[in-house]
Structure 1
């Protein structure tokens, strides 16, 4: 069913991963500022998986990267499902209401996640259901707009509202790669409210009457990128491990018990370095060309004979126009690329110069200093 917000004046429908919600209402930059200041709300596309039963928290704790066994009612968390090699399979927002754990995911992830969980129930007292059709999700920063927003759904008396731990990271048991000094995540006071899907009609009426301001998905993505906040639908590919996106700071408890993929998480953290790293790219906007996800990122290296050797070092994951930063993008690049090296992005057959700002540093060190053993037969 189409969102009633798509019928509002000026509403332009989003496509791709955000299909089904509004991309913008005519002025994305104004919408960004209002959303950032807590003066506007956005409908965001989400899938909802409900896990009920007395064993739900310990069961989820045993399968995912975050410590969830003692999650209190109304408390928010973020967790990851990993494969045996530590690759990210699902990224999940979690809020528990005392009876049910509500798992909020990308729309395309709800059905496969629910199917996987249903197969893993065995003899435990848990019930899994895809409840996506019953709820819409409204999102925005802390601010006065929430006083005028539809009330959160509360099937068991506890409002279903998820508060993003990114601004408070590192969470207990977390491990950040990015420096806390000047980290833009400290200004990302984001929350997502589950509301009955039929409440969107009343929200549309309030917006027509000027009682509430709305923003589109372009504004959401712009301020997310500026906060260095990874998203499963954009930054994750088949090879992604949490370290590469600095996801250990909010979605991983590094000292909890075993779970699938935990060996890779511990090994890379303690003994190795992430094979790739997330960067923010400040793009040259003189040609008014904005890259798209998947566009290649190149670095030029001067060879011994003085010629330039251009090599592909990564890919764009999300590119946006930000109201203050201008054209910027998140990209995943090879770890070995120096942190001060300028890049070139090939977008629409155009070379776009890009300066990198490190999120996961190129010199991110192992957490454990393992001494090198002397070479066999070497003399002191």
Structure 2
């Protein structure tokens, strides 16, 4: 096997066509974060993005997008933002993961959302569920599933939607709008949410804001940014920005105006989005790894993603292990223990309230 490295902008039409064909040939790769358009757009904003092109003789058999950080540390493209990561490759491809990352000039490749079917996954890597809304049988069967398995949530959300319209006004839904104005409204809500809950504000980084703007402007048959907004009495109430392939919508940035919190605007929005997405040909909404209450209430299936690293032998990989692995294991322990998780979440929210008060 031969490996060549390229910046995403250096890939030509034949390479991109082959990437898309390999992606469409394996169900596990049907996620927009694994699409060439996503890697190309991130590469326009982050110069450390590279793509390893894998050849078997004259044939391209895989694409491995990654970021190269100092000391040869490799990370997925837009690490920390993406819910699907990995190598897009031909079926039954056999590779030595350590040899691959060495050919990429890396000492380590770390990941936290590596999709199924990856030659890089081994028995020592941790697996985590990634909840989905499965619409492959249609929107009707999905709502029947909710009535049976999440009846209280479904009925309560519909009742709150009716009350919202009685109290304030009619609801209007705009699915897949390309207007940038509501996008910035949504990002403002998301920033408030990050600060309120003690999390890092991703949109304090200008490159992430510009990335989202560029992805919204990308509209093709096989890949697009999808902005979905709910209005009440013609005022924005809740929304979501994600990415899609032809059949998969990846959940990314959901948020709502907190003045409507008592009506459960996030759940109202997700139910409406599922209906519109199904009508637009979406078969799966991948809500991404993470134990969020709304995901548990809305899911009717799940994928599996892996977390861990592939490393060569050397000083850089040893230092990386000392810095990263104990922290990751501690985080996993906290998330797996309901009491520890609740305590940590409460501490973050307290920090968020204090930070907001000091900034005010």
TM-score (norm 2): 0.27
Larger radius of gyration: 1
Larger RCO (alpha carbons 8 Å, 6+ apart)? 2
Greater helix proportion: 2
